[in-house]
Chains A and B, each alone.
Chain A
Amino acid sequence: MRATLVHRITVNGVLREVSVPPSTTLLAALREQCGLTGTKFNCEQGECGACTVLMDELPVNTCLVLAASADGHDVVTVEGIDGPGPSVVQQAIMATDASQCGYCTPGMVVSATALIARCPKPTREDVDEAISGNYCRCTGYESIITAIEQAAQARSE
């Protein structure tokens, strides 16, 4: 018998109730209970960053957070970044062709958005560090780094 717990988590500004067994990750709760499939499911061990969201404004790997631990916290997924249209970061990614298969892109968008919020004029090193927990197997990173630098510039103009 799997017991079910009810958690109240603010997701993209809306208070949601999710009822899941205790071992459920925040990743699973977001995808299956909230229907937010932008957050990707991949390595499940904190290595790749495809499952990154903001929790209380900081990027975290949702495969390593229990839904139970998110109870009472504020979560922003890629769907909730900057309102309905594409954000500055998303626009820059499109402009620089920084997304190929696209699997890493939501995590990259979340990490890059957190960086620019914290550090409006990031150096190349800041950008490298900010996405060091986000693997991309397609682009070779250069276009992603360029996109983040352009987004930061567009933001501060």
Chain B
Amino acid sequence: MPDGSTEQRVLAGPAVGAAEFTYHRPGSPQEVDDLLAQHRGVARVLAGGTDLLVQIRSAARRPAHVIDIADLSAVRGVSFDGGRLRVGAATQLWEIEAHPVVRKRFAALREAVRCVGSLQIQNRATLVGNVCNASPAADTGPALLVYDAQVGVRSVRGNREVGLAEFWLGPGQTALEPDEWVEHVTLQDQGRHGSAYVKLGRTRGVDLALVGVAALARRGGVRLACASLAPTIRRLAAVEDLLSGDESPGEEQVAEAVGADVSPISDLRASARYRLAMTGVCIRRANETAGRRWEERNA
């Protein structure tokens, strides 16, 4: 290739999309509130950018204002207080993975975080970004649901807490009003329990989940939640009831309950039938690992 054309390609490619935006780096959460109120509906929060920059480049999103919160120390970090784990909006996935309380008490979350993309992705991406992107395949979603996650929402109009199940309205859609943003996500400690997240992808490397299942075992029954099997990530209520009963159900019964809980689609990654079949397998694996971890705790 002659030099000139190489040069051109390099110059044409690197900007994220043709559309320009105004870049903001607010110094406080109040400043984020003000910017979102001022540019209502035409601004997006940028955390790790691992979804947003891809979306801007493909013109799926065209924000006129980008509000970078990655360096906003007021919303960064993991804390554990009064039985709730709190993860700030600017906290990157690697920090969550490394946190001692997460390792000890939130095993499924740690496993889920380690499934997201690659180390390069985990070094930039945030948990709150994974939640706000509202992908049906978001790996951290099932773990957050079994730990009763709440979303801390704020704006110039005030603060509110939203249950995670109510926060997701559909693929890419959340309960956030145009002037609102998420300050943190909290998870409830479950006392003596065991949990696990099992992801099935096409490859073990960088790939989205074909099926992702989180299980949490404790006295009183098992909790299950799944990704990639419905328009939003959700709990598997019928399977939970079945597995929490006294008798252990047969595979057919589980398959029937799975069918009642989810509605997988066929896409380029897998057929609906394959997804359904693999859901039973993932449930069994997640449930067994969670149960074993619970027993180890009790031992």
Contact = CB atoms under 8 A, between A and B. Distances in A.
B50 interface: yes
Interface in B1-35: 10-11, 13-17, 19-23, 25
B14 A25 contact: yes
A133 B68 contact: no
A49 B50 CA distance: 13
A25 B15 contact: yes
Interface string B175-200: 00000000000000000000000000
Given A22-B21, A23-B20, A68-B68, A61 B120 contact: yes
Contact of B54 (A2, A64, A134): A64
A52 B120 contact: yes
A72 to B, nearest CB: 7
B118 A66 contact: no
Contacts of B118: 46, 49, 132-134
A32 B123 contact: no
Contacts of A32: 10-11, 14
A44 B187 CA distance: 34
Given A23-B20, A58-B94, A132-B205, A46 B119 contact: no
Given A58-B123, A60-B124, A133-B206, A24 B14 contact: yes
B289 to A, nearest CB: 18
B272 interface: no
Contacts of B14: 24-25, 27-28, 31-32, 41, 44, 63
Contacts of A66: 16, 23, 46, 49, 53, 66, 68
Contacts of A2: 20
A18 to B, nearest CB: 12
B46 A49 contact: no
Interface string A92-108: 00000000000000000
Interface in A62-103: 63-66, 68-69, 71-72
Interface in A1-46: 2-3, 5, 21-25, 27-28, 31-32, 41, 44-46
Contact of A28 (B15, B21, B119): B15
Contacts of A72: 71
Interface in B52-75: 53-54, 56-57, 66, 68, 70-71
B117 interface: yes
A134 B65 CA distance: 32
A134 B119 CA distance: 10
B10 to A, nearest CB: 6
Given A23-B56, A46-B121, A68 B11 contact: no
Contacts of A68: 23, 25, 68
28 contacts: A2-B20, A23-B15, A23-B17, A23-B19, A25-B14, A25-B16, A28-B14, A28-B15, A44-B14, A46-B50, A49-B120, A59-B123, A60-B124, A61-B120, A64-B49, A64-B54, A64-B124, A65-B124, A66-B23, A66-B66, A66-B68, A69-B68, A69-B71, A132-B119, A132-B205, A132-B206, A133-B117, A133-B118
Given A2-B20, A133-B119, 4 more contacts: A44-B57, A58-B94, A60-B124, A66-B23
